[in-house]
Amino acid sequence: MSKPPITSILVLCEGNHCRAPMAEGLLREALGPAVRVSSAGLDALVGAPPDPEAMRLMKAHGVDIASHRGRQVTPEMALESDLILVMDARQRAWCVDLVPSACGRIFLLGHWLGSPPPDISDPYGQGPDAFRLAFDAIRQSVTAWVPHLRSEQRPA
Amino acid sequence: MTSTPSPQSRPTPPASGLLPRAARAMEELREIDLREWFLTLWEGRLLMLASIAFCMALGLFIIWRSTPIYQAEAMLQIEPPKNVRDSDAAFARMGNLFTPPSDALTEIEIIGSSLILGRTVEALDLDLVARPVRLPIIGDLLAGSQAAGPRVEVETFQIPAHFRGLLFQIVALPGGTFAWKSPSEPPAQGNPGAAYPEDALLATGRPGDLLTATWGGEKLTLQVRTLSAKPGQAFRLQRRPLQAAITDIRNDLEASEKGASQANRTTNLLALAYRHPNPALAADILNEIMKQYLRQNAQRKSGEISQTLALLQQQLPEVQDKLKQAEAQLNQYRAQTGAVDLVRETDLALQRGAALATQISALKQRRQELLRTYMEGSDLVTTIDAQIAKLESESAGVNRKVQALPGAQQTIMRLSRDVQANTELYTTILNSIKQLQVTQAGEAQNTRVIDAAMPGLKPVKPKKAMLVAVFLILGVVVGIGLVLGKAALFRGVEDHRIIENRLGIPVFATIPHSKAQEGHQHAISGGRPGTHILAFADPDDLATESLRSLRTMLGFYLRDLTTRTVLVTGPSPMVGKSFVSTNLAAVLAQAHAKVLLVDADMRRGSLHAYFGLDTRKGGLSEVLSGKMPWRSAVQSTDVPGLQVLCSGAIPRHPAELLTTPVFSTFVAEASREYEFVVFDAPPLLPVTDAAIIGSKVGLVLLVAKAGQHPLDELRTCQVRLESNGISLDGCVFNDIMPTGLSYYDQRYRYGYLYAYGKAEKG
């Protein structure tokens, strides 16, 4: 083992309403119970269920996120997580301001998809097509993250 | 400071009751700017204090050195302005809207006139200047306000008017005598024929002697009253042009009407004030001004009266002549006609006639009044008509009687009337003259001095409290200017996002200033035994939290690298390179990895102190110079899994040692045996060592101290590395100070509380 395992992941988006719940659901499905995945919003619609369109897409994918309720991120949440994933560079800056000490743990969800990493734009109120795009981007990103999050063997 | 980017607009649910996002973002931005501003000021507080101290010192020096000015005050009562009685009552009521300009203003102007002040100057010799020659400005400052020092008092100094303004000199000589020297330049309007020898000796003498001299064909006199000076001390002696002296006095004189500030009130009391460094002289000058004013006033008033008097006295003889003539004629006529007395009847008749005439006119008036209410022919009117008719017939009878009087008597009557009229005129004029003469005697007493000027007891200038306040404010303003100016010129990067946005270097971690680290720093510089590593000693410190974040970040970065070697450097010394490298190695080791920490700063290496080791000897420099194999130079530490290689004794050419193949071999072997190798390198800008090591390691980290480096300095580091073919992988933003105002602080404080709470829980 070469580096500390990632045991808890916090996914952030703006409203904790569409993107983060989808990413949370996909990560949880991919990583299983070994890693604690949670999500929160930088400016959350507290207590709100996910967007129906997001729920529909996730359901079609086979993950039920209906039980999710929006919550506002706190510094404690950020400090307790080993890894914080955000949707775009602006949110990263926002999050660094919130918890400067966590600066090194904040990554874009699209980190492994290219350089510079693509942002995942907010589908809120944009109609089903935007949601479809966001969902695809999130799914690609999560797929790219997963190998990096499993305890890997050191390359020879 | 870059702002938090404005969030995209998203319809806010009605329940949340928050401002629209964009507005809130704007507000946040403004807040940050203001905070930034205060933060800058707070950080520059020492500079501000210095500036305030300097300005205060300057102010106090000026106060200490400035000549105290005393004020003499006096009060004058002036003649009340003549009241113009308005016949119209309504207009009189409006009168207070149109108050005629107070006479006091006129009098104030008169007091400040060249006439009065000129006489004052002449009376007190105020145009005479006799003062020691000093260096300009500095000399005055050095002499300060002390009355001690060379002095001369001049009794008389008479020169022709066109010599005014020329600088004569008095030079003290041994034995209490002095020399009187001519000016060093001829007068502007001199006689063309006359000779004006420059700096010529005019005369010598003792105080008390009346000296006379001739210069340029004009006779001059000088009498010195007293002289106290060391031999060789020179004095300026000058009669200033009158106008200049008058202007000076006018500038020091203040006159105002008491209570004039209240509308429509005139008190006719003038408050006068005169300012001068010498309190006694100030009082003298003010009293003299008042004296001259009163004199002038009296002259002016009595002048008006005398004119009237003269006119009346001119008329008096004429009237007297007329009277005499009339009397003579009457007497003559009486003598001619034989002494005929006025017949009583005539008298009576005349009186009766006059009485009747008045009665008739009264009745006629009454009749007019009655006609307003009664018709013509009504009872009352007819009654009045009847009365009038009766009286008119009576008066006609009297007239007939008078006309029937003899002509002689008529003539006598006419003459008597002349005499009577002339007598009355004569007595009137005589009375007026008497009255005016009385007035003339008591005239000037209307204007009088209420309070004579007294020497002021306390100086009114410099106004110490006000000057101190002014200089304090000046100090604050200059301080703010300096701080902001300095901040504008030397902008150390305060915000890690600037590094990301402008240089494109990712910031892997932001490390807050740690109180605990201060203690460790003391222990390290004191060379105390024991391990002084924050991550080891204070795992709950926020700085440690940041370092763990850095570990997470490096975990992802180093995963694909063949050699997990990290170089930690910085732009300049004292930015926390050793702190970062040591603590990074420690947190890596705490994650159950085998880590080697190498002190690659062979010039000023100090890592041994972090681990409480006595000496740096037996380290990298010995390994590279082939004195010992590296494995035996590595030492274990208190941190499980962490081993350290000290810098070794200071070699002669550290940079050259790093280019040897020995070093490359060492790096290769170490990276195979350890999961992580962390190099603590010398700073990048002063020496080349870091760049040499950088070409052999997997990842290069630049430690930048918050607020210490202008952006250009960091850019130079980047360029320096890139020119050696090394990419700068990331930056660690170290030692962010919670200043009490900073944007970060609240977060950090929050974090501190959080960390503290966590520590409590165990």
Chain B residues touching residue A105 (CB < 8 angstroms): 549, 552-553
- CA–CA min distance B662, chain A (Å): 24
Are B283 and B453 spatial neighbours (Cβ–Cβ below 8 Å)? yes
Catalytic residues of A: 13, 19, 122
Q: Considering just the CA atoms, what is the radius of gyration of chain B in Å?
A: 54
- CA–CA min distance A43, chain B (Å): 9
Say what the pLDDT of residue B354 is. Answer: 82
Mean pLDDT value across residues A10-16: 92
| Window A:60-99, CB contacts with B under 8 Å | 75-76, 79, 82-83, 90, 93-94, 96-99
Q: Give the distance, in angstroms, between the CA of residue B699 and the centroid of all CA atoms in the same chain.
A: 60
The length of chain B is 762
d(CA B554, CA B566): 9
CA–CA distances in Å: residue B520 to residues A76, B573, B574, B604, B679:
27, 18, 15, 19, 21
| B753: number of Cβ within 10 Å | 11
What is the chain A residue with the closest CA to B641? A2
- CA–CA min distance B568, chain A (Å): 16
d(CA A103, CA B398): 135
Q: Considering just the CA atoms, what is the radius of gyration of chain A in Å?
A: 15
Most B CBs within 10 Å: which of A7, A18, A101, as the mutation test of the B interface? A101
Token pair of A109 as six digits: 């969800």
> Would the CB atoms of B5 and A90 count as touching at under 8 Å?
yes
d(CA B208, CA B176): 11
Q: Is B502 left (phi over 0), alpha (psi -120 to 50) or beta?
A: alpha
Chain A residues touching residue B8 (CB < 8 angstroms): 14, 122
Q: Which residue has the tokens 């930056």?
A: B731
Q: Give the distance, in angstroms, between the CA of residue B584 and the centroid of all CA atoms in the same chain.
A: 57
d(CA B419, CA B431): 18
CA–CA distances in Å: residue B410 to residues B152, B353, B416:
90, 15, 10
Chain A residues touching residue B551 (CB < 8 angstroms): 3-4, 104
Token pair of A75 as six digits: 């510094």
A4 touches B: beta carbon within 8 Å: yes
Edge-first strand listing for the sheet containing B565-569 = B507-512, B730-736, B699-705, B565-569, B676-680, B595-599, B642-645, B635-636
Query: Residues 6 or more apart from B718 whose CB is under 8 A from it?
Result: B503, B505, B702, B728
- CA–CA min distance A1, chain B (Å): 7
pLDDT category, A126, cuts 50, 70, 90?
confident
What is the chain A residue with the closest CA to B593? A2
Of B512, B675, B754, the CB nearest to A100: B512
What is the chain A residue with the closest CA to B753? A76
Tell me the average confidence (pLDDT) per consecutive run of 10 residues in chain B, 762 residues long.
41 40 57 69 84 91 84 82 46 46 76 89 85 69 58 85 84 86 80 77 85 83 86 86 89 82 69 88 90 84 79 86 89 73 69 85 83 81 89 86 71 81 87 82 68 83 84 91 78 79 87 90 88 90 90 82 86 91 94 91 90 88 92 92 92 90 93 93 91 91 89 90 91 78 44 42 36
Rounded to a whole number of angstroms, the distance between the first and last alpha carbons of chain B is: 38
Q: Sign of dihedral through CA atoms B201, B205, B207, B213? A: negative
| Window B:514-543, CB contacts with A under 8 Å | 542-543
A48 touches B: beta carbon within 8 Å: yes
B750 touches A: beta carbon within 8 Å: yes
Total beta-carbon pairs less than 8 A apart between chain A and chain B: 113
Q: Virtual CA dihedral for B124, B125, B126, B130, nearest 10 degrees? A: -130
Are A122 and A14 spatial neighbours (Cβ–Cβ below 8 Å)? yes
Task: Identify the residue with better confidence: B304 or A49.
Answer: A49
Are B52 and B473 spatial neighbours (Cβ–Cβ below 8 Å)? no
Give the up-direction half-sphere exposure of residue B269: CA atoms within 13 A in the CB hemisphere. 11
| B741: number of Cβ within 10 Å | 17
- CA–CA min distance A80, chain B (Å): 10
Of B16, B496, B545, the CB nearest to A101: B545
Closest by CA to A90, choosing from B26, B731, B494, B8, is B8
d(CA B601, CA B670): 17
> Would the CB atoms of B754 and A75 count as touching at under 8 Å?
yes
| Window B:150-179, CB contacts with A under 8 Å | none
What is the chain B residue with the closest CA to A6? B552
- CA–CA min distance B626, chain A (Å): 30
Say what the pLDDT of residue B142 is. Answer: 58
Chain A residues touching residue B542 (CB < 8 angstroms): 101
Class of residue B511 by CB neighbours under 10 A (exposed 0-12, middle 13-18, buried 19+): buried
Query: Residues 6 or more apart from B245 whose CB is under 8 A from it?
Result: B121, B126, B127
B17 touches A: beta carbon within 8 Å: no
Say what the pLDDT of residue B659 is. Answer: 92
Are A28 and A65 spatial neighbours (Cβ–Cβ below 8 Å)? no
- CA–CA min distance A94, chain B (Å): 6
Chain A residues touching residue B512 (CB < 8 angstroms): 100-101
Are B643 and B634 spatial neighbours (Cβ–Cβ below 8 Å)? yes
> Would the CB atoms of A90 and B7 count as touching at under 8 Å?
yes
B727 touches A: beta carbon within 8 Å: no
> Would the CB atoms of B549 and A104 count as touching at under 8 Å?
yes
Say what the pLDDT of residue B750 is. Answer: 42
d(CA B367, CA B90): 33
d(CA B152, CA B192): 33
Q: Which residue has the tokens 């301001």?
A: A97
Residue A102 has pLDDT above 50, yes or no: yes
d(CA B82, CA B284): 32
Most A CBs within 10 Å: which of B6, B500, B552, B758, as the mutation test of the A interface? B552
List residues bridging with A36 in a β-sheet.
Answer: A8
d(CA B174, CA B738): 73
List residues bridging with B218 in a β-sheet.
Answer: B215
Say what the pLDDT of residue B262 is. Answer: 61
Query: Residues 6 or more apart from A128 whose CB is under 8 A from it?
Result: A53
User: How is residue B698 annotated by DSSP?
Assistant: S
Residue A151 has pLDDT above 80, yes or no: no
Residue A10 has pLDDT above 90, yes or no: yes
CA–CA distances in Å: residue B37 to residues A50, B3, B388, B429, B748:
41, 14, 105, 88, 20
d(CA A62, CA A26): 10
> Would the CB atoms of B751 and A107 count as touching at under 8 Å?
no
Q: Give the distance, in angstroms, between the CA of residue B5 and the centroid of all CA atoms in the same chain.
A: 43
Say what the pLDDT of residue B29 is. Answer: 53
Of A48, A82, A100, the CB nearest to B552: A82
Chain B residues touching residue A82 (CB < 8 angstroms): 552
Chain A residues touching residue B497 (CB < 8 angstroms): 93, 96
> Would the CB atoms of B549 and A102 count as touching at under 8 Å?
yes
Return the axis-axis angle of helices B379-404 and B344-373, rounded to nearest 10°.
160
B557 touches A: beta carbon within 8 Å: no
> Would the CB atoms of B744 and A83 count as touching at under 8 Å?
no
Task: Identify the residue with better confidence: A101 or B699.
Answer: B699
Chain A residues touching residue B10 (CB < 8 angstroms): 14-15, 122, 124-125
| DSSP, residue by residue, B602-652 | TTT--HHHHTT-S---SSHHHHHTTSS-HHHH-EE-SSTTEEEE---SPPS
> Would the CB atoms of B509 and A154 count as touching at under 8 Å?
no
Query: Residues 6 or more apart from B211 whose CB is under 8 A from it?
Result: B180, B202, B203, B205, B221, B222, B223
CA–CA distances in Å: residue B575 to residues B284, B531, B568, B680:
72, 21, 11, 12
Class of residue B277 by CB neighbours under 10 A (exposed 0-12, middle 13-18, buried 19+): middle
Chain B residues touching residue A101 (CB < 8 angstroms): 510-512, 542-543, 545-546, 549, 748, 751
